[in-house]
Amino acid sequence: KKSKGAVLIISPWNYPIIFTFQPLCDAIAAGCPALIKPSELVPTFSKHLSELVPKYLDHAAYHVALGGVPEITKIIELKWAHIFYTGNAHVARVISAAAANHLTPMTLELGGKSPVIVNDANLGEGVCVRFAVFSVLSLVSRWIVFLSWVLDVLILGVWFAWARERRGW
C-alpha cells in the first residue's frame, strides 16, 4: 500500500510528549514522513526532540521544526497530506484556514470540558458520580480530561446535595 504522504504534527506546550508521540507513532505506522512542530513554550523538550529525532528516526523522513509564530505561519502554507493539531480553538481556526487552501484533512484536539449530562434525576448522585469517575478512570492517560472531570464531578456532587436538601430528592 502507498502512504498518505507527509504529515504535519503541531504539538502543545502542555503534555508535549504524549501529544507529539501519539500522532508520530500513527504516522510511522502508516508509512508517512512527518514534520514535528513542538510548542515554542517548551524549549527544553523542543531542543531534546530536535536532537533525538534525527538520531533515532530516518532523518530523510522525520524532521523537527523549531520556532514560534513566524515559522509555523510559513509551515502551514505548505501542502500536507494531513495535519495533526493539539491546542486552542483560536489557533485551530488559523491552521484550518491555511489547510483549507489545499483541502488538507486535519485531526484537531481542542481540549475544553467534557460535560456529564444526566437525563433522569431519579438515578441519584451516587450513581452519577460513580459513572463519571469510572468513565474518567478508564481513560487514565488523558489527565487533562481527568482533572477537568474531577472538578466537574465535585461541582455535580455539590449540586446534587443542594438539590436533595432543597427539593427533597
Q: Looking up cell 472538578, which residue turns up?
A: 151
DSSP 8-state secondary structure symbol assigned to residue 87: S
**Quick one: which of 145, 144, 143 has its CA closest to 116?**
145
Cβ–Cβ under 8 Å, residues 33 and 4 = no
Neighbours of 118 (CB within 10 A): 16
- In the sheet where 62-64 sits, what is the strand order? 62-64, 34-37, 7-10, 82-86, 106-109
Residues with catalytic roles: 109
Contacts of 135 by beta carbon, 8 Å cutoff, 6+ apart = 116, 149
37 touches 75 (CB < 8 A)? yes
